[in-house]
Chain A
Amino acid sequence: MKIGIIDYGMGNTGSVTAALRGLGAEPLLTASENLLDECAALILPGVGAFSPAMERLKQLGLDAAIRRWADKERKPLLGLCLGMQLMAGDSTEGHACRGLGLIEGHVVRLAPAHGLPVPHVGWNEVHADSGSDLFHDIPPGSHFFFDHSYHIVLSSSDINCATFDYGGAWLAAFQRGNVFGVQFHPEKSQHVGTTLLKNFLRYASAVSVNSYEHA
């Protein structure tokens, strides 16, 4: 199964492709929207700052392509860390900037209680809703690797599917139909992260089988 990884010069793309290859998927690193049609699912990775990342996506014409993929074609999309944050409406990181607007929410700087250090770096417990597609076979409270200074505040908690605790409870993962986002780095969370990516691949392959049957 071909999985597109958006290459906009910002992500830790080497880590993401290695993790997917390890799962037997065929990662396709691409900055061209023409190649997206070949893919069963798309991953938007992210190590970077919000506004330069959005600018890069726009320059490459990928912002519209991702919106079309997610909202019109309703194909599986997973955002990792900054990739997740880019799906929100806007961010206050750097120069205030609009995001992809795939979900309703704002990206703001973490302000944990008790003067805890920011960025929030390290392995934290994630508490997911039972029955969530991404967290299948992952015990509640499993540790994932986080590394971020900003986070998403959702306008409505309907799509929240996991939280983490760091001087307050914050959004760790969401699912809005075919669009998923995780604040942590599953590609760097050892076997627990591998299980999460496997769950996303399984979701993607189930969806692509269904769409063939309907067609």
Chain B
Amino acid sequence: MLKPRLIGIVLVRDGIAVQSIGFNRYLPLGQPTIAVEYLDRWGVDEIVLLDIQAGPAQRSLDPGVVRQCAELCRTPLTVGGGVRDMASASALLAAGADKICVNSAAHSDPSLVGDLSMRFGEQCVVFSVDVKKHSADWNAYASGGKSSISAALDEILAHAQKSGAGEILLNSIDRDGSRLGYDLELIRHCAGRVSIPLIAAGGAGHPRHFNEALEAGASAVAAANMLHYTEHSVIVAKRHMQTAGRAMRIDTPAGYPCVGHLDSGRLAMFDETRLDAARFHRLP
């Protein structure tokens, strides 16, 4: 059985992994390679590495960073930020990317997705779209949420799928960094309009948010901030999802099989009797 994916996002700005809030405030986390290494060891199902400055700066993510990350990462690695043509995509794949994520350039160059998928196969092309709610409707944005796109969201999704994108990475700008949970209405809206896998992003703050997004129709759930700050965050979240009835892949040596969770979603301590039994006993 295919297991739903929990995807870790690593955002890079000035070569540093950052936490993003609302697409306009950033807190430094540390080196991207270290963030990637932890996610890999904690059994995350995929990693998305995005340079959020590359597009506006007319360059793509430094292949050297991709190479360093790929060297220690045995988890599928999707790389994006500034991918605008065959050459920039090829350079990232050669450096160790497994899939390519396109965003702004795919809006200004409608043939980009088609060209990439003809060459590398549709399974290699992830179409990322940043969305903000406007009264009753949603608007897509390019350039890291800065410029509004005139085409309707439904048209954008239909075009992406028709031209050969393999997956949609759906980011909610409103929920980014909020920890309030995914925009479930947006997920439901989009899931009903595409037949390719939909990855939900933006807003995860509690493991139950992942199950909510999957129930709303996402094939995979992605999170950044939530996974970077606590040890074994990926395993703890997957265990929570599993306990709530969602079959997940938990292959790591530490699987926390008989541990409960607090309301906050974090691991609970063992009860007193169990701790007592495990206590160090001095031999007489």
Contact = CB atoms under 8 A, between A and B. Distances in A.
Interface residues of A, number: 46
A200 interface: no
B167 interface: yes
A12 B121 contact: no
A148 interface: yes
B1 interface: yes
Given A119-B123, A148-B123, A187 B118 contact: no
Given A47-B124, A166-B2, A189-B74, A121 B197 contact: yes
B98 A47 contact: yes
A14 interface: yes
Interface in A185-203: 185, 187-194
B233 interface: no
A135 B249 CA distance: 19
Contact of A147 (B72, B117, B123): B123
Interface string B50-80: 0000000000000000110011111111000
Contact of A190 (B2, B5, B251): B251
Interface in A79-97: 82, 94
Nearest to B194: A117
A4 to B, nearest CB: 17
Contacts of B73: 18
Contacts of B1: 124-125, 165
A82 B121 contact: yes
Interface in B125-142: none
Interface in A84-126: 94, 115-125
A12 B93 contact: yes
B118 A52 contact: yes
Contacts of A142: 251
A14 B94 contact: yes
B67 to A, nearest CB: 7
Contacts of A154: none
A48 B96 contact: no
Interface residues of B, number: 43
A47 B125 CA distance: 10
A189 B97 CA distance: 14
Contacts, number: 131
Contacts of B76: 145, 147, 185, 188
Contacts of A12: 93, 96-98
B85 to A, nearest CB: 15
Contacts of A190: 40, 43, 74-75, 251
B4 interface: yes
B195 A117 contact: yes
A10 B89 CA distance: 11
Given A117-B195, A119-B197, A121-B166, A14 B93 contact: yes
Q: Which of A10, A52, A146, A147 has the most C-beta atoms of chain B within 10 angstroms of its own C-beta?
A: A147
Given A18-B70, A149-B122, A122 B220 contact: yes
Nearest to B126: A121
A123 B96 contact: no
Given A117-B197, A187-B74, A192-B251, A49 B67 contact: no
B118 A18 contact: no
A143 B197 contact: no
A187 B94 CA distance: 14
A22 B2 CA distance: 27
Interface string B148-163: 0000000000000000
A194 B96 CA distance: 16
Given A15-B98, A47-B120, 14 more contacts: A9-B90, A22-B74, A47-B99, A49-B119, A115-B195, A117-B219, A118-B195, A119-B123, A119-B167, A122-B5, A123-B249, A145-B45, A147-B123, A165-B1
25 contacts: A11-B93, A12-B96, A14-B70, A14-B94, A14-B95, A15-B96, A47-B121, A48-B120, A115-B195, A116-B2, A117-B196, A117-B197, A119-B123, A123-B5, A145-B45, A147-B99, A147-B166, A166-B2, A188-B74, A188-B75, A188-B77, A190-B43, A190-B74, A190-B251, A191-B251
Interface of B: 1-5, 40, 43, 45, 66-67, 70-77, 90, 93-99, 117-124, 166-167, 195-197, 219-220, 249, 251
Closest 5 pairs (CB-CB, A-B): A14-B96, A119-B123, A188-B76, A147-B123, A124-B2
